[in-house]
Amino acid sequence: MKTFFRLIFFFVITSMNSQNITFTQPAFLQTGDTILIVAPAGIIKQPEAILAAKELFIELGYKVELGAHVFNECHHFAGSDKERLQDMQWALDHPTAKAIWCARGGYGSVRIIDDLDFTKFARHPKWMIGYSDITVFHNKLHNLGFQSLHAPMPINFKQPWPAIEESINLLKETLTNNIPTYHISGNAYNQTGTCSGVLIGGNLTILENMIGTETCFSAKHKILFIEEIGEYKYHIDRLLRAIDRKGYFKECTGLILGDFTDTKKNYPEFGQSIEEIVLTIVSKYNIPVLFDFPAGHEDKNVPLIFGKEIQLSVGKNNSSVKFYH
């Protein structure tokens, strides 16, 4: 019976996301607001980075609380599934906090997502902040109709500071409703054009892993962002083709490619660049395609608001991403 209702929920959500719906925007932060730090996935190997992030935001005038199990260790994970679930549920249910900041990604969010209850979160929405494995939560919130923030995490608060300072400053600005417009240098592979739509996406592996589940969203009339780390080109090709078969590229109005970090080499060589792999699949759809957007697993990882409408303008020499207010 439980499986039956899960299937009904999935088809309802898929239908809902094919329409133009308005996504609830959590309240932007003000001095004195509370930020919660939780670790729903990988083990924290650099606790000093988490504490540095906490101290910085306290200095900015916020209250910062850590989940009870953030620094726990259970093999690969920051605590057992039960402990990580408890921390995330505590954060979702918190009646006054304004943001849930995931300490790091890695792997593990998918192990707890189906056991979380978002009822109290819906009454008191908060900014979910993170990237990589946190794509699982971005997808879930998108399907529930809430905006979320693809942005740096506490684990990124490391030396040398100048490498991450711009991204952290942009995160601080975005959280207070000073949302930037991004101007991006050209790439000869860019597929030019202008479009608008609600922004959604995240890590490519996670997006593909969510296909056919409650956390698989529709890309219809939306602009899709994707990034990846540590994969072979043949695997990237496989992942892209999987989400193409799902209809993501056919249905979306535009595509933004973030960082593809530490791409592994094939032997023999795969024979195509990342840009060529992408265009081989999506060029037939005649949508704007922007390469080299600075978001993903590099030090420069600028914030993106998922669930918010943007205008994407792509040229060979200059491009821009503008959020509608």
Give pLDDT tens digits for 59-79: 999 999 999 999 999 999 999
Do the Cβ atoms of 106 and 46 come closer than 8 Å?
A: no
pLDDT at 8 over 70: no
Q: What is the residue-averaged pLDDT of the chain?
A: 93
High-pLDDT (> 90) share of the chain, %: 90
> Distance between CA 195 and CA 320 in Å, rounded?
11
Task: Report pLDDT digits (tens) over 193-208.
Answer: 999 999 999 999 999 9
High-pLDDT (> 70) share of the chain, %: 94
Strands 193-203 vs 222-229: parallel, antiparallel or unpaired = parallel
Task: Report pLDDT digits (tens) over 205-222.
Answer: 999 999 999 999 999 999
pTM of the model: 0.92
